Amino acid sequence: MSKEPRPTPSEVALFRDAMSKVRRLKSDRIVPDRPKRAPIPEQRLRDECEVIREMAQGLYDSAEIETGDELLFVRPGIQHSLTRKLRRGQLSIEGELDLHGQTVAEAKESLVDFLSQARDRGWRCVRIVHGKGMRSQGRMPVLKGKVNHWLQQLDAVLAFSSTRPVDGGTGAVYVLLKRS
């Protein structure tokens, strides 16, 4: 067993000199760390910006949708009873956007602005009127397919369905939004 060498008197003096200004703490409590900032969902924000950019530039593949085709989209995990109420028009409509007469670019901007305002206001269900395309060239709906695609790309949209005939039928959709 080897013993550690004892400090020399000069080492002891050097240590005491270095420690001369050290004061004993009066409290034995630990100072808590500052609360951490809530994480920022950067990837989701980037994805949403990319969707909006693609919408503005028209970079997407849109399948042709006929005038009478019903639209239905439901994200995984949404209760069937809630979807059924949405399709039957049993949820209270808190706002409406009418896209009739707008160009595709105007409709994109209107839709994004409207849904943003709806989320800010805490609206849960809204109606968007896209039209049936009766006055379009070839009598084919232009905005219907675009709205179908745009709504599926937005995370704020949980589900949407064509409305009942009294609310516009296949020319409008009920949209269920995430709670804010």
* CATH code for the structural domain at 67-177: 3.30.1370.110
Cβ–Cβ < 8 Å for 91, 136? no
With residue 129 as reference, give the H or E element that holds it: strand 125-129
Cβ–Cβ < 8 Å for 145, 65? yes
Pairwise CA distance, residues 114 & 129, whole Å: 12
> 0.85 exceeded by the pTM?
no
Cβ–Cβ < 8 Å for 87, 74? no
**Domain locations in the chain as residue ranges:** 67-177
Q: Give the model confidence (pLDDT) of 6-17 as tens digits.
A: 889 999 999 999
Among candidate residues 105, 156, 104, the one with its CA nearest the CA of residue 131? 104
Q: Give the model confidence (pLDDT) of 93-142 as tens digits.
A: 999 999 988 888 899 999 999 999 999 999 999 999 988 866 666 666 77
Say how many residues make up the chain. Answer: 180
Q: Give the model confidence (pLDDT) of 23-69 as tens digits.
A: 877 777 777 777 788 888 888 888 777 777 766 665 544 455 555 57
Pairwise CA distance, residues 110 & 97, whole Å: 8
